[in-house]
Structure 1
Amino acid sequence: MTDLPRLAVRRTVSTTLPTEHGTFAMHGYDGAGGLGHVALVMGDVAGEGLDDVAPLVRVHSECLTGDAFGSRRCDCGEQLHAALGAIAREGRGAVVYVRGHEGRGIGLLAKLQAYALQDAGLDTVDANLELGYPADARTYDEVADILHDLGVTRVRLMSSNPEKAERLTELGIEVVARQTLPVADRPENAFYLDTKRRRMRHDSVGAVPDAWAELVAGRVPDHGVAGTDSVLLDRYGPLVAAGPELTIGQLAQSMDGFIAARSGDAEFVSGEQDREHLHRLRALVDVVVIGVSSVLADDPRLTVRAVAGGSPVRVVLDPNGRAPHGSHVLTVDDAPTLWVVGPDAVVPEVAPHVSVLRLPLGPSGFEPAAVLAALRERGLGRVLVEGGGRVVSAFLAAGLLDRLFLTTAPLLIGDGVPGIRFDGSDRLADALSAPVRRFVLGEDICTEMDLAAVRA
């Protein structure tokens, strides 16, 4: 059993606080030399619910002038309300309101003295130094203790300050994304904000990246991202960080394990949010692999349409060359197509966007390892195995999937085309298990299994 961290602060009271943004649970903690801290919490932030996306968290330094009086010398009050609003919109998150952080930790009266020096022309850093204080005297040990008490070990941090994320990381809080709050500069605080950006590494508004554009380009942003893009970074960042070779399986099935009705009708098993998720996976890989049965049943396009991003190479596994010659993937040049057939399959003359690849056949068709080797010889290392059930199951059984995204839709089909199937074990103790994350996608639940972690 892992030892829990020893906490220096103690929760002393819990109550509720109705606000203009909604009703929060409010927890009081000792600490800050007797001043005390508070945490405003909405929803399940401990990650025990179905949605395993890290919660939004704002670590807010006490600022009497900004928070209570609405000062425009800083943006603190606006940041606080923007954070509460963002949490309320998502229905889940926490604001840790840290006492003793007034004036970046120098105290209220010293902050006012620094204001007077700023009136004479010094910036906020030089004013603190002139008074004999550090530019930033804040510490975050008690913040980390509060987060641990709340059961929070992973956060999407609402802050433009990279140092805050670094300090929390050192204290055992994983910052999976840092989200810049949409608070506009004002003429009264422009010099203050410019100083933080020039001298304290804060993000500038113009430098905030679009997380999805960064991910599609193969980069994981290591600084602030805008708005709900932090969810995308948390969900898909690990796939991009995995590098140039990654094999992902994806399947949507009913609660009783079918991907289509017995007639073959599969439109649609899962909902719109899951289909968007599928398009995001397509946009992050080099190739998407399907079996010929999927072509016969659905005539899919296999392109990226629901989100920004380029379409991958389409790979059709068709041992006997059964794909209809008029199917979309063979006739429409909206993505390159690799038609994988057996040595003896008879295929017609193909369109310019189609290449024919002949591979040897094993007892059950193409060997998944041979398919991956052939793709990687062509520089196609990031692979999405999209369907159908037999193809995904074959790659899973061969131990070649690094990740499996299995979406369960609230349907009971009763009889139909099966989803995941492979030779199982006689004992539940030997069943395939792996670290998981779960995402709520509308009415569907997507479970991500990290199979690479099991092999490692």
Structure 2
Amino acid sequence: MADTRLPTDHATFRMTAYRDDTGTDHVVLSLGVSDDDGPDLPPPLVRVHSECLTGDALGSRRCDCGEQLQHALQLVARTGRGAVVYARGHEGRAIGLAEKLRAYALQDRGVDTVDANLALGHPADARTYDHCAAMLLDLGMRRVRLLSSNPAKELALSALGIEVVERVPLVVPDREENAFYLATKRARMGHDEADQDEWDQLLAGRIPAAGELAQRYGDLNRADGPRVLAQLGQSLDGFIASRTGDAAFVTGELDREHLHRLRALVDAVVVGGATVACDDPQLTVRAVDGPHPTRVVLDPRGTTPADAVVLTDATSPTLWVVGADARVRPVGDHVEVVRWPDAGPMEPRAVLDLLAARGLHRVLVEGGGRLVSAFVRAEAVDRLYLTTAPVLIGDGVPGLRVDGQDRLTDALRPTARRYRLGDDVVTELDLRPLTATAPTLADDVQDAS
């Protein structure tokens, strides 16, 4: 019925409208596919998504539909080749919106989602997929990687002429409000269990096919993925600590877990000597399972306190990089004292060369604000994770600062995506030069096993 383009937060999709023989309109959002694709191209990643007004548009937490839709769009955008079929008429597994709300009322009394549909005289699942298969075939998608945790959907499409070469589970985290609903889908409708090995795959250097952690960290395992990361947690008004230096709990526990995942996925974590003196961080991985990175302290004047954890705790090795004339005290065997070769500043790219010479190629620049800002200004950071907490400090230690511009048109506007961690918001910025060959946040994420 229509063919146009739809810019979204994830990518600009081709959007194609169809009308079935009941007069119901459906749409397909596709990317990187055409009806004359040759057999040598990989099968596209396809999600057949059932309409859900409450979840997709209103953000209901009674189901996982809205989160699955956004996750599917993100995965197709990252893969660069695939489609999301938005099947209307599937509300409440095709019993209609009002009937779905009646089923909700029964679920409020403790009835599960299957028995609620049956009690109202409906099938547990009344959906059909002939129109979905027809749309895929019309767009040239005869062989697909199906993004779904529902085996019945694979069987239905296969019977309609779609070759499902792989079914990729689409799992989003359970919430308190939808845990019973999701447990029912798994126990009574055969949906896949949540993948408990996703983090282990990432730690092993693989890229899981789907999942929240794969979406956030999967491309860090790519051979051409970002190598130098930076992370800061700051207030809405741009401070990482109060004016007394108090930096305790600017961001929440979920952001701490996120930081520890980044530590576990890199070879080295870099901080400034002032940060060690003020905060005495451990710089190890504790909130999640994973290996400890090598700790790197850039300390031109050698002011790191003798009792600092990084110098006294042998949990992980430490590189203490000091100026040529700095006086240093005896340290533990886990500490290597590295003299900066000249009297000049510790230029970020020279620091990265020093680490690379020791086999430390994937690096996280963690703090403080001046150090992260210096690496960003030197264009030495591939990806910046900037977490903002809903707090106003008013005055204190500044967070990220970049060179000022006279005109807003000259301001840095990198590719970005955002996600919430509890009350905090992570803004993930791709700071690599946007060239024809430089991968970005929207690049392909494939299973690298």
Q: Specify if TM > 0.5.
A: yes
Alpha-carbon distance, 1:242 to partner: 5.1
Q: Which amino acid aligns with 2:136?
A: D
What is the 5 A alignment of 1:34-433? 39-43=51-55, 55=70, 99-101=128-130, 138=133, 141=136, 157-159=148-150, 178-179=170-171, 210-222=197-209, 230-241=211-222, 243=224, 246-360=227-341, 365-433=345-413
Q: Aligned partners of 2:153 and 2:128: how far apart in 1?
A: 20
Alpha-carbon distance, 1:349 to partner: 1.9
Q: Aligned partners of 1:162 and 1:374: how far apart in 2?
A: 53
From 1, 5, 9, give the equivalent of 2:18: 9
Relative distance call for 1:345 and 1:303 in structure 2 (3 A) is same
Instruction: Give ranges in structure 1 of 5+ residues lacking alignment.
Output: 14-26, 32-36, 69-80, 86-95, 106-136, 146-154, 194-202
1:386–1:392 contact (8 Å) kept in structure 2:
yes
Relative distance call for 1:397 and 1:11 in structure 2 (3 A) is farther
Alpha-carbon distance, 1:30 to partner: 6.0
Alpha-carbon distance, 1:8 to partner: 3.9
Q: Deviation string for 1:394-414 (max 9, x for gaps)?
A: 110000111000011111111
2:149–2:168 contact (8 Å) kept in structure 1:
no
Relative distance call for 1:142 and 1:247 in structure 2 (3 A) is same
Relative distance call for 1:59 and 1:396 in structure 2 (3 A) is same
Q: Which amino acid aligns with 2:52?
A: L
Alpha-carbon distance, 1:100 to partner: 4.2
Alpha-carbon distance, 1:158 to partner: 3.3
Q: Aligned partners of 1:7 and 1:59: how far apart in 2?
A: 10
* 3-state SS, counterpart of residue 328 of structure 2: coil
Relative distance call for 1:97 and 1:184 in structure 2 (3 A) is closer
1:29 aligns with 2:25: yes
Q: Deviation string for 1:131-169 (max 9, x for gaps)?
A: xxxxxx945528999xxxxxxxxx9743469989x99xx
Q: TM-score, normalised by structure 2?
A: 0.63
Percent identity reads: 47
2:324–2:343 contact (8 Å) kept in structure 1:
no
2:419–2:426 contact (8 Å) kept in structure 1:
yes
Q: Which amino acid aligns with 1:426?
A: D
Q: Which amino acid aligns with 1:158?
A: S
* 3-state SS, counterpart of residue 452 of structure 1: coil
Q: Aligned partners of 2:148 and 2:234: how far apart in 1?
A: 34
Q: Which amino acid aligns with 1:378?
A: R
Q: Deviation string for 1:208-234 (max 9, x for gaps)?
A: 661111011111023xx6xxxx11111
1:38–1:97 contact (8 Å) kept in structure 2:
no
* 3-state SS, counterpart of residue 311 of structure 1: coil
Relative distance call for 1:41 and 1:420 in structure 2 (3 A) is same
1:54–1:234 contact (8 Å) kept in structure 2:
no
Q: Which amino acid aligns with 1:216?
A: L
Q: Aligned partners of 2:400 and 2:68: how far apart in 1?
A: 25
Q: Which amino acid aligns with 1:258?
A: F
Q: Aligned partners of 2:277 and 2:373: how far apart in 1?
A: 19
Q: Which amino acid aligns with 2:128?
A: R
* 3-state SS, counterpart of residue 7 of structure 1: strand
Alpha-carbon distance, 1:423 to partner: 1.9
* 3-state SS, counterpart of residue 16 of structure 2: coil
Q: Which amino acid aligns with 1:9?
A: Y
Alpha-carbon distance, 1:451 to partner: 1.1
Q: Deviation string for 1:5-48 (max 9, x for gaps)?
A: 352414999xxxxxxxxxxxxx95369xxxxx96124445799x
Relative distance call for 1:401 and 1:160 in structure 2 (3 A) is farther
Q: Deviation string for 1:276-296 (max 9, x for gaps)?
A: 111111111111100011101
Alpha-carbon distance, 1:350 to partner: 1.6
Relative distance call for 1:438 and 1:350 in structure 2 (3 A) is same
Alpha-carbon distance, 1:391 to partner: 0.5
Relative distance call for 1:428 and 1:347 in structure 2 (3 A) is same
Report the RMSD for the aligned CA atoms in angstroms: 4.5
Q: Deviation string for 1:405-435 (max 9, x for gaps)?
A: 0011111111111111132211110111111
1:54–1:176 contact (8 Å) kept in structure 2:
no
> Paired residues, what number?
336
Relative distance call for 1:236 and 1:350 in structure 2 (3 A) is same
Q: TM-score, normalised by structure 1?
A: 0.62
Q: Aligned partners of 1:361 and 1:252: how far apart in 2?
A: 32
Q: Which amino acid aligns with 2:70?
A: P
1:54–1:156 contact (8 Å) kept in structure 2:
no
2:230–2:366 contact (8 Å) kept in structure 1:
yes
